[in-house]
Amino acid sequence: MPNQPLRFGIFGILLLACISAFGQTPTPKPTPDDEVIKVDSRLIVIPVSVTDANGQAITGLTAADFRIAEEGRQQTIESLGSADVVPLEIALLFDISASTDPMFRFEQETAAKFLREVMRADDRATIFTIGQTPSLVQSRETAEKAVDAIFRLETTKGATAFFDTVKFAADHLRRNSPEGRRRVVVIISDGEDNFSVGVQKAQRAAESRLVEKGPDPEFKKLGKVIVQAQEMAKTEERQRVLRSLQDADIVHYSINPAGSSYLLNKISVFGQENMQRFSTETGGTAFLPKFLPVDTKDQYQNSNNRRQNSETLERIFRQLANELRSQYLIQYYSESEFPANKFVKLDVAVPTRGGARVRSRQGYYVKN
């Protein structure tokens, strides 16, 4: 019996431990709605163009010249790279559909000249065409090889998958261009879309719903219903493409060969709005030149109009080159906590230079 007190002592200790454990209040686990992303090391990249009132590049700025606010909260700049030291990654998208045919040769010539003038040895260009399906013509090459690819392009009479091609180009740059480079997309198109996958699906779904109803008075509204479905799908596609541009840290530029004639129909207006939205949100420019007709019955007038149109295109590409030469690449680490997929608003300013014109992305999406 001498060991009995010891056995009871050990049993008592274990009993007290069990009672203590069961008596504790369990810590509740956070629900999905409560989850936030810890972003101690989230690197934010902001391409910024700074020009004076005349559109000329303002160079020589330092990190001390810039002010960046994220949802109103001041941020600390980690690094600042200027255009003369940060390589350029440019994607050039040519619309080869019938709607851009009259000006196509001039677009090729001026785009080729632009690449030769703006690109340096370390810069790379990728060429895409906008047609029935996205097409990668030339991937990440020097100026001369990219120019060769441009002059090999030919127009078609097919449909236009505008949204699919822009997204395809943005995703391609994000996956294939090295980090720390200035990513730019330049699109020569009217921005119209009638063949992207999302638009086609919406049309087929609308047609199926009407066919199921059978021949009744509502069936006569087939065309109107399909158009409404397409418009809704295009709005959704626009947002999807914009998200891809933002996620790839791309600045979007566009040149609309349609000129003022884009106002003639609703589809053309929506096409220009697409490109304007992409440019505004990413810090680029949507150029809408007033091109003159080159397919009139008067050959002398056509020749004169071609010359003026060519000069207009050259001015646009010179302005675009100035913006790229005035571009800085700002990087900082955000220490804020935001839910996944939230769009975080940014404000970039250069208070040390009065009258400076600053172009930058409007914000970014918090990634999972």
User: pLDDT tens, 144-187?
Assistant: 999 999 999 998 878 899 999 999 999 999 999 999 899 999 99
**The CATH number fitting domain 86-325, selected from 3.40.50.410, 2.60.40.10, 3.90.1150.10, 3.40.250.10:** 3.40.50.410
Tell me what percent of the residues of the chain surpass a pLDDT of 90. 52
Tell me what percent of the residues of the chain surpass a pLDDT of 70. 80
**Mean of all residue pLDDT scores within the chain:** 83
Q: Measure the CA angle with vertex 151, ends 91 and 141; round to 5°.
A: 40
Please state the domain extents for the chain. 32-83+327-368, 86-325
From the number of C-beta atoms within 10 Å of its C-beta (0-12, 13-18, 19+), residue 224 rates as exposed
- Beta bridge mates, 77: 332
SS3 state at 175: helix
The strand order across the sheet containing 343-349 reads 73-74, 67-70, 343-349, 363-365
Does residue 266 have a pLDDT over 50? yes
CB-based contacts of 234: which residues, under 8 Å, 6+ apart?
163, 193, 199, 270, 274
